[in-house]
Structure 1
Amino acid sequence: MHNFQANYDKILKVLKELDCKMDYLHQIRKPKLRDKQLIAIDLTSEYMGIDSECQLFRILPASLSSKIERSVYNRRKRKLFSFRESLRKALVKRLNKSEHCYIVDSMPLEVCKLSRSSRSKICKEQDYSLPEKGYCASQSSHYYGYKLHAVCSAQGVIESMDISPACVHDINYLKDIKHQLRDCTLLYI
């Protein structure tokens, strides 16, 4: 579907079914665009593959763009992240209600080339989040960075994602995830 308004209406309808609350942030002046409507705009743009805010406001229907300014949209979107995440979890729980089989996969997240790893300052602010050297068997190469782990249902609904240091073996991640997902089959690819 290429019609933003039609996609927006469907996503807003689903969000209203998940949670009847329309506003999450306490604001003295009531905004023209409700919090749930802003989340629906954000999810619609993500669904349609619009990654540029400029492009989003170019194709946003006049009924929505007249209710919010671009800088205000950006600020409120950041403040609503935790509420958006709780809505995502509720939606995933609803979609994966009868799911008994999950697929686990990982991929390398390279921070920089291995030759630059000794002098790189990227992501080294905290000791617990230091990037590490790792090996990717599918690409048969060493890399410096992290490992992204994703757990999704057989229908393709992403249950959770996690980032670990590159040196952590996938088996160790499976041991951690089996405590979160009980009474189901985990398939590791």
Structure 2
Amino acid sequence: MHYFKITLLAAAMAAFSLTPAFPAFADEPVGTDVTVVEAGTSDTSEDSVQDVVQDVQESQETSGSRESKGHRASVVGEEEYISQGPGVQKEEKEEAPAPRETSLGRFTITGYCGCEQCSGGHSLTYSGTVPTPNHTISADLNYFPLGTKLKIDGTVYTVEDKGSFVNGNILDIYYGSHQEALAKGTYTAEVFLVQD
């Protein structure tokens, strides 16, 4: 029975000690007096332990059925909280303006790859980047500085390279293999300057 009293007292103390940790759920002001029953003292009686147990049970019954003011406020404003977020005004999402495209006319389009025959064994572009299919294009840097975006047949390429035979209205598209570059061959297409 003595072990039971100490265990019961420890449970009661734990319940009361959690109240200050979570003041939003406290039924009474923080600092509620608790009767301490020490093991092995002659003052310990079953009545004092039962009083503590009864107080703990009453406290748990009333706190379990009641919500704190803070919790109640968050439930009431839940829809508003979800729609606007915590402290943030809902803003209309602005769509980025579509890039402006300007026709530059018809250009002669050729192709190259990273092989020895096409690139002389260079693994980097003139700008220092690794060439990428459907992205890298070689152009006359007197007309199109590095980083210029050009749209050809629906694909936007970035000028990252220059070539010894790429002058004026000739553009050289980078392909993943020599076979792809040969298969596409030389053709003419309308070229658009893409500006953000």
TM-score normalised according to structure 2 size: 0.18
Query: More helix by proportion, 1 or 2?
Result: 1
TM-score normalised according to structure 1 size: 0.19
Asked which structure has the greater CA Rg, the reply is: 2
Higher relative contact order (Cα pairs below 8 Å, separated by 6+ residues): 2
